[in-house]
A = this chain, B = another copy of it.
C-alpha cells in the first residue's frame, strides 16, 4: 500500500540543502527502510543555475522558477531551507495551499509566523515539520512533543547558539579575549560577518520562542523574550566566575510558574557541576525539567550541513510514513493558548556583580547597606588587593526580586566611592 517513492521539492541549496541532498544519497538504503519508501529530490529551487555547489547535483534538477517546484503535482513535500521570513513564507504558504507537506529548517519563520502557518497547514489537512529549526541535529522538537508528553514542563534551559558558546568556551578554556575568540569563530564559519544577531542573543530568543511554545503549549512571540547578549563579558568575569565555581554560558530560559511564563536569554553563571557547564565550543544542549521525568538533557551539534540535514531527513521519513499511512502523529500546536508573560522585574534571580570602588573605610559598608535596604543578601564576596587605591569587588547575591536588585544597584551607582560597575550578570541557583 502507499507510494514507493516520495518526491521532494527543495527550496534552496545552501549549507542545509546540500546536507539534505548528501544524506539522501549517502544513507539511501537506510532512509528507504525507515521511511518505507524511497525519498527522491525531484526539483531544486536556486537563485543561480551556474553557481558551484558543495555537492554534485544533476543540472536538470535545478530551476530558478518557484512555480516549477511548488506546482509540480508529483511533488509530495516541500523542504524550505532558504531562511528568512520574506519569500520563504510565501513559498511555504503556497506549498500548503497546493496540499504539499512542508519541512523547514527556518527558525525565524517558525518563531515569527509558526502559529499562522500551522493553522494554514491544518486547514489544508497537511502539516509542517521543523525539527531542524532549533538545535541543528539534536532531537528537540520530537522529545518535547512526544517523549516528554506526559510531563508538565517546569523549566527549559538551553545553549542554543553555537557562535556564542564557541566564543565563551574559547575565553574560558583558552584564556582568549572576546575579540580574538569572535575573530576565530568568524574564521571557522561559526559566526557571520555581522554577528550581532548571535552576540545580542536574538538568535537564541527566536529558538526559545519555538521551544517554549511547545514546552508550555503557548504561542510565544519574540517580543515576549527578555534578551541580554554577551558583548560585555570580559575575561575577568570568566576568571572570577570560575574561581567561585561557575561557568558563564548564554542561556535561553523558559519557566512556567503560577504567575505565567518567564522567558529570558542572558549570559548566566551556572555551577561547574551542572551538565550545561560541560557543553563546550560549538555544541548545543537543551536542559529540560519535567514534573515527572525530572532533569533531562539533549546534546549535540546545533548547526552544520549534515547535523541539520539529519533532522530534515528525519522529518522526511516521518512525512513518508504519514503519506503512506494517512497519519496525524503530532501534537497539534494549533490548539495552543497564549499564556501570560511575567515581566522580568517581577522575576527572581541571583546576581553576580563586579565593580571598582575607592579603597577607603566605609565603602564596603555603604554597599552592604544599600543591598540590605532592598533585602538583597550576599552569597559570595571576593575582594583582591587594591591597585592604585582602587579595589575590584566581586559579589554574588542570593535570589532576589529583580526590581529590588535594580533599585539597590541604582543607589550604589550614586555612591561617590563607586568608580565603575563593570558587570552585572545573572546566576543560576538550582
Could you tell me which A residues sit within 8 Å of B by CB distance? 19, 23, 26-27, 30-31, 33-35, 131, 137-139, 142-143, 146-152, 217, 273, 275, 277-280, 285, 290-301, 304, 306-307, 309-314, 316-318, 321, 325, 327-329, 331, 335
Is B137 a contact of A296 with CB atoms below 8 Å? yes
Known: A147-B314, A327-B329; 7 extra A-B contacts, CB below 8 A, are A30-B149, A137-B293, A139-B139, A148-B314, A293-B300, A294-B304, A325-B329
What's the Cα separation between A148 and B294 when bound, in Å?
23
Contacts of A146 in B (CB 8 A): 139, 142, 314, 317-318
**Can you list 23 A-B pairs with a CB-CB distance of less than 8 A?**
A23-B150, A30-B150, A34-B331, A35-B149, A137-B293, A139-B143, A139-B147, A143-B143, A147-B311, A147-B314, A148-B310, A148-B314, A149-B314, A150-B309, A150-B316, A275-B279, A290-B310, A294-B306, A295-B301, A296-B298, A299-B299, A321-B328, A321-B329
Closest to A330 in B: B321
What's the Cα separation between A103 and B325 when bound, in Å?
22
What's the Cα separation between A235 and B152 when bound, in Å?
41
Contacts of A151 in B (CB 8 A): 27, 30, 310
Contacts of A34 in B (CB 8 A): 149-150, 331
* Identical chains bound together, number: 2
Closest to A31 in B: B150
- Shortest beta-carbon distance from A221 to chain B in Å: 22
Contacts of A310 in B (CB 8 A): 148, 150-151, 290, 292-293
What's the Cα separation between A15 and B311 when bound, in Å?
35
Contacts of A291 in B (CB 8 A): 26-27, 306
- Shortest beta-carbon distance from A364 to chain B in Å: 35
Is B297 a contact of A217 with CB atoms below 8 Å? no
What's the Cα separation between A137 and B296 when bound, in Å?
8
- Shortest beta-carbon distance from A192 to chain B in Å: 21
Is B150 a contact of A142 with CB atoms below 8 Å? no
Is A300 a contact of B294 with CB atoms below 8 Å? yes
